[in-house]
Amino acid sequence: MSPGTNPLDKIGDVLEAFRQGRIVAVFDSEKREGETDLTAASIHVTPKVVRTLRKDGGGLLCMTMPPAFHEKAGLPFLVDLFSDAHAKYPVLKALFPNDIPYDAKSSFTITINHRKTFTGITDNDRALTITSLAGLIAGSDGTPQDDIVTAIGRDFRAPGHVSLLNTARGVLDERQGHTELTTGLMLMAGVTPSATICEMMGDDGRSLQVDDAKAYAERNGILFVRGRDILEAWKWWRKAGGVIDTKARSDGKGEGVGEV
């Protein structure tokens, strides 16, 4: 990259793909999980996107929650919820995840279904759950906490078939997992800051190797981006005034997430 080049330009086509509702393959790092996730902007998820993620990804379909939203909504990290409940359910204390090899704390919070779904597992059902929650996130800025909690209870039930992930408060300033990498991409793209992600699995019992993930992306016209390039762009975006926020219009184009 030549001197003075904006690192955002390096991933500009990736950010535009999210604005257009397209899927992108995101690799974290050889030093972390060493996994590639198929990723889409939650606000633009369709049943076809869900089908592609579950068939070509094969891992767990998850939806990231931006920090201001999950804190205002009171969505607990599961590990904290289990810790609080272990006096009544001792098995939860025995299951405490203090030996995760690549991280200190899991991002998982609750699982949900939209109340208008049947089982909640079909492509149509999961797309409805994801886009409805993304719409709620998009309109949440300035909404009182009680109203957000009421809206969540009105539209969703738990447990369900969409796994939610709580993004770290500082996003990539604080943690560099797929939850933060993909939420950070949504912020930089200026769309509603929630990503829908699914790990890519191989046929050998392991996660798909990075070279195979790149080859898949090339065959299918999907962009591939590495975590290190996302981090470079993020640092530049933050120094240029990028703001970690949940302000976004309901059309998914975004506003108030920082001028670059």
Active-site annotation holder among 33, 62, 70, 198: 62
Query: Is 218 in a helix, a strand, or coil?
Result: helix
Cα 21 from Cα 18, distance rounded (Å): 5
198 is annotated as an active-site residue: no
Q: Which residue in 28, 33, 44, 113 is the catalytic one?
A: 113
* Active-site entry in 141, 161, 212, 232: 161
Residue from 28, 33, 35, 37 carrying the catalytic annotation: 37
Check if 113 is active-site.
yes
- What are φ and ψ of residue 235, in 5° steps? -60, -40
- Cα separation, 140 vs 135, in Å, equals 9
If we measure between CA atoms, which residue out of 12, 53, 51 comes closest to residue 36? Answer: 53
Is 130 in contact with 47 (CB distance < 8 Å)? no
Catalytic residue among 35, 123, 199, 245: 199
| Residue 111 near residue 160 (C-beta atoms within 8 A) | yes
Within 10 Å of residue 80's Cβ, how many Cβ atoms?
Answer: 12
**Residue in 6, 102, 103, 251 annotated catalytic:** 102
37 is catalytic: yes
First CA to last CA across the chain, in angstroms?
19
DSSP symbols for 163-178: EEEEPPTTGGGT--SH
Tokens of residue 215, six digits? 């080859």
Residues assigned a catalytic role: 37, 62, 102, 113, 161, 199
